[in-house]
Amino acid sequence: MMTLNELRRSFVDLDAAELDRWIDNRWIRPEGRPGAYVFHEIDVARAHLVAELRELAIDDEALPLVLSLLDQLYSVRRQMKLLHKAINAQPEEVRRAFLVSVRASAVPMDGADADPERGGA
């Protein structure tokens, strides 16, 4: 865990008002109250992500959307890791049958077999 002052010191070009704004906007969500925040590892990583996005000139209006999309992506990655672990825990014949089923229903990356109900071919 990290204190507010420790977090501020870990950023070269971040002033206190900017960090306070990130917290007010809930782009990072530390525990505690103003002036006595405690930042967990995930909060520190999120602060670094926000800083990187700001360096890419993503403005305050677009940042919540970008963060939401990244959160969704990270959630899907976690779910995929859990699914992979569950599949690998199955007997070989089940894993093989699952792989055959997935390959049979896979959509080519070029969209050639796009779902007609979604407006595809």
Give residue 118's pLDDT band: very low, low, confident or very high (50, 70, 90). Answer: low
Beta strand extents in the chain (DSSP E only): 2-3, 38-39
Tell me the pLDDT tens digit for each residue of 2-44.
988 888 888 888 888 898 999 999 999 999 988 889 999 999 9
Contact 53, 64 (CB under 8 A): no
Distances in Å between the Cα of 18 and the Cα atoms of 11, 37, 75, 77, 100 are: 11, 15, 27, 30, 52
97 and 50 fall within a common domain: no
What percent of the chain is modeled with pLDDT above 90? 67
Are residues 36 and 4 in contact, defined by beta-carbon separation less than 8 angstroms? yes
Are 15 and 53 part of one and the same domain?
yes
Domain assignment present for 114: no
Range of the domain at 79: 60-104
pLDDT at 121: 47
Total structural domains within the chain: 2
pTM of the model: 0.72
- Claim to verify: residue 46 and residue 4 sit in the same structural domain: yes
The alpha carbons of the chain give a radius of gyration, in whole angstroms, of: 21
